[in-house]
């Protein structure tokens, strides 16, 4: 399938067709309003715009100034870019007079340009400053955080966000090294971690989990996801679709549990005299769980860990009549 042109730098949008297809932009829905909560380098947004009709609208979010610069190159009156986290979705929609949307897409993965640009500090493959901020215009860098945080908190972050069993040893090593010299480079941190981690899975660098943990913490990624999920659901019109791509177990667990909390409603004892229309009603219906194809993983190994979960918002039934509320 052909797609609208993406920028020339190397970036492959994971589950591109699957994520956009899941939003079911057909019929009257081509004139609906949609959200791309993570613009990245615009792969999903460009395909979404190609599916929308002339009255359709797409509102995209991103914290990364480089992503915003790319988005500003899209000259389409149906498109709006917001330089902020999708966790600010409710306020952004209210400011623009948008009451409901027909679909929300969240691609939670870090983009290839972010990983490959040594100056961003997300990767230890090439040496660079230890920054790790998605939004380089605000907040503190990873280097600044490592310089002042307590060993106890360092250990907790590395253990909880990196699922790292050597968190204590790594935190202790960081505190010992910073007493001698500032920890300011990616290779420097990777070396400290490698010295503290005695064993690791074959083919995985010892620093991988620690870098993931610090990046997630610095950018408050899990807090943003929890807030964004609630706001996305509340913004959806009945029949609206939520499509979310996650790349590690912490993200996917939050998405799975949130979907389940709205789809699986506790039912009272069947022996109680309660009418069917008065029973608790599910608010979401789970549609799909999708993994990248073998061909996509072969072409783009970074897609290997991706999981897409899709759900639709159900209408609310009035308990007295059983009729549906569409608003």
**Residue 251 near residue 222 (C-beta atoms within 8 A):** yes
Cβ neighbours of residue 143 closer than 8 Å, sequence gap 6 or more:
121, 129, 130, 131, 182, 183, 184
The C-alpha atoms of residue 298 and residue 302 are separated, in whole angstroms, by 9
Q: Facing residues of 317 across strands? A: 324
Tokens of 320: 């007295």
Residue 107 among known ligand-binding residues = yes
Please indicate if the annotation marks 11 as binding a ligand. no
Q: How far apart are CA 133 and CA 131, in angstroms?
A: 6
Q: What are phi and psi of 15, to 5 degrees?
A: 50, 45
114 appears as a binding residue in the annotation:
yes
Query: DSSP assignment, residue 54?
Result: T
Please tell me what DSSP assigns to residue 286: E
State yes or no: 44 annotated in a binding site.
yes
Q: Which residues are annotated as a binding site?
A: 42-44, 62, 86, 107, 114
Q: Which residues are annotated as a binding site for S-adenosyl-L-methionine?
A: 42-44, 62, 86, 107, 114
């Amino acid at each position: 399938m052909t797609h609208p042109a993406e920028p020339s730098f190397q970036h492959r949008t994971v589950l591109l067709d699957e994520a956009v297809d899941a939003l079911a932009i057909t019929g009257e829905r081509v004139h609906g309003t949609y959200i791309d909560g993570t613009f990245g380098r615009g792969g999903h947004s460009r395909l979404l715009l190609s599916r929308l009709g002339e009255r359709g609208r797409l509102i995209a979010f991103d914290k990364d100034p480089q992503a915003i610069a790319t988005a500003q190159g899209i000259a389409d009156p149906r498109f709006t870019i917001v330089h902020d986290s999708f966790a600010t979705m409710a306020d952004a929609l209210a400011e623009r007079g948008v009451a409901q949307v027909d679909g929300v897409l969240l691609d939670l993965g870090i983009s290839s340009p972010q990983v490959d640009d040594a100056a961003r500090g997300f990767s230890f493959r090439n040496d660079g400053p230890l920054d790790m901020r998605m939004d380089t215009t605000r907040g503190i860098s990873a280097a600044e955080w490592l310089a002042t945080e307590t060993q106890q908190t360092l250990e907790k972050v590395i253990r909880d966000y990196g699922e790292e069993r050597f968190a204590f040893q790594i935190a202790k090593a960081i505190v010992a090294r910073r007493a001698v010299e500032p920890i300011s480079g990616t290779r420097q941190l990777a070396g400290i971690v490698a010295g503290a981690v005695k064993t690791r899975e074959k083919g995985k660098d010892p620093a991988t989990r620690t870098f993931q943990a610090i990046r997630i913490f610095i950018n408050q990624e899990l807090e943003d996801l929890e807030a964004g999920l609630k706001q996305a659901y509340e913004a959806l019109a009945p029949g609206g679709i939520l499509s979310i791509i996650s790349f590690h177990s912490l993200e996917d667990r939050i998405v799975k549990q949130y979907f389940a909390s709205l789809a699986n409603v506790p039912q009272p004892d069947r022996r109680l005299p309660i009418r069917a229309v008065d029973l608790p009603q599910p608010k979401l219906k789970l549609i799909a769980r999708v993994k990248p194809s073998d061909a996509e993983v072969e072409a783009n190994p970074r897609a290997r860990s991706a999981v897409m979960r899709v759900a639709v918002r159900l209408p609310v039934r009035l308990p007295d009549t059983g009729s549906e509320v569409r608003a």
